[in-house]
Amino acid sequence: MPPKIALFIYAAIVVSLVRTANPAKWSRVLWLPWAWLLIVATKTPAMWWAIITGGGRAAEGSMLDTVILLAMLAGAIRVLVKRKAVWSKIIRRNQWLFLFFGFELCSLLWSNQPGTSLKLWIKDIGNLVMVLVVLSEEDPAEAVKLLMLRASYVLIPLSVLLVKYYPEIGRGYDGFTYMPVMWGASESKNALGAVLLVAGLGLMINLVGARLRVKLTAKLMGQVVVCLMLVWILPRSNCATALAGVIGSALILVGLRSQAARQLLGNMGVAALIVIPIVFMAADFLFGISEIFVGSLGRDMTLTARTDIWDASLAAHASRLLGAGYWSFWSQYGKAISSQLNFFFELKEAHNGYIETYLNVGLVGLGLLIVALVTGLGRVLRQVKTSHYGAIRLVFIIVALMYNISESAFAGLNIIWFTLLLALAEYPHRRRRVSRTAAAARLKKVTNAAGGNRPLPEPAVHLTSAGYGYDLFSCS
């Protein structure tokens, strides 16, 4: 098939898929974080412009990227201002995340490239602002599901299109093995793995979370088509982390559809963080399951020379307490470590999110990140007991924690980091004040819809963080 015809068919498919994804529940404001997510997942605007115009590879830190991303960030802040976001409550509910970002900003004081690091930090804080825009929707759970679904409808078909019909864009060569690899819509094989992992999650949370239907709807058909595309590209991409993540996430989501399973996990709470690793380490000691698992993914125990990178980077002379400064370690030590390991290219990451955080912001920054993760995970585990949305957030966190073992994704314009923030952050919604008459009318409507004939009690008055209001369903 000629590439131009394939491009036309792709565009028609994507437009039709996006239109079927619950347009009535899609807020116009969500187009902003959706566009940001696509940029984070694929290439920067300057890179796409260079590809379209045939101008070669765009320079890193292009002015076009800066202008577009800053304009989007300003638009997101304007949305939050119009929605009367109470920043004191937002910071209090996400205090450890803000402390982590704040310490990263402070680390610019001892960075060797404070100007460059500041630009990267501003883009990074843009992730958090976009996440707050999504969570500020009236139904944040539905907003998250629709955002991820519509992103999947673009990312997976686009990657298939570029791999099959535009190989000069969608394919390249691996820097370690010199073998041809798939890049899809991303910048590298590992970035494609992250995109397929998150896009696969976007499909899973909508398919597994939905009720089984006898009637085949257009939305369900669209999800099945994109799933088939994912099944085609995922094994061919040679992205072992993505393959394991999609399969594991689907199993967790299916298991947590059971209310009993969610209650058990919720009751265990943070204790599960201690019990599960102990069980895993015991099984690994007795049966060597980690070696079996890594081997089943086509990898050796060095994780394709990653352990050598970890050892060399940890041995470098950087401040253990404060780190080298936000996003500054590799600008100082990258050439020396690459030469030491006989790499023909210069390393720019540690391929481990925990080590990467330690190298850049030291033990202080890593400690703040861990506290933010544990605090957020504890809140999510409590939510799992009563809501399937809690299970979705839990899967996002687990995937990010596992992904960062072999890749660096705790900072920057990274789709895994964006997804993790989507699971950890919380937005304090204001309770709408409802008059006694309106509350009674709403309760009557609900009762009639349920077929009930019992007399209507008076709605109860409750105290919320925003003041007094009437609860529509709790009655005195």
- Average pLDDT (220-225) is 80
Percentage of residues in the chain having pLDDT higher than 90: 40
Is 70 exceeded by the pLDDT of residue 427?
yes
* Average of per-residue pLDDT values in the chain: 81
Per-residue pLDDT reduced to its tens digit, 271-302: 666 665 565 555 555 555 455 445 545 554 45
Q: How far is CA 343 from CA 155, 183, 206, 318, 336, in A?
A: 31, 21, 42, 21, 10
Q: Say what the pTM is.
A: 0.83
- Check residue 400 and give its pLDDT: 92
Q: Residue type at 286?
A: L
Structure-token pair, residue 7: 């491009």
Pick the closest to residue 240 from 288, 306, 286, 287 (CA basis).
Answer: 306
Output b/e per residue, 424-441; b: 16+ Cβ within 10 A: bbbbbbeeeebeeeebbe
Give me the phi and psi of 214, to 5 degrees please.
-80, -35
CA dihedral 387, 388, 391, 393 (to 10 degrees): -80
What distance in Å separates the CA atoms of residue 361 and residue 324, rounded to the nearest whole number?
Answer: 6
pLDDT at 134: 96
- DSSP state letters, 38-63: HHHHS--HHHHHHHHHT--SPPTT-H
Specify the DSSP element, H or E, that contains 471: strand 467-475
DSSP 323-390: -S-TTTHHHHHHHHHHHHTT-SS-----S-HHHHHHHHHHHHHHHHHHHHHHHHHHHHHHHHTT-HHH
Measured from the Cβ of residue 38, the count of other Cβ atoms closer than 10 Å reads 18
What torsion, rounded to 10 degrees, do the Cα atoms 66, 68, 70, 72 define? -160
Least confident of 25-39, 75-89, 202-216, 390-404: 202-216
pLDDT tens track for 66-89:
999 999 999 999 999 999 999 999
What is the per-residue DSSP string for 448-468?
Answer: HHTT--SPPPPEEEEEETTEE
**DSSP character for 173?**
E
- Number of residues written out for the chain: 476
Where do runs of H (alpha helix) occur along 85-113?
Answer: 87-93, 95-106
* Token pair belonging to 193: 């793995």
- For the segment 142-199, what is each residue's pLDDT rounded down to a tens digit? 999 999 999 999 999 999 999 999 998 888 877 666 778 888 888 888 889 899 999 9
Is residue 242 over pLDDT 70?
Answer: yes
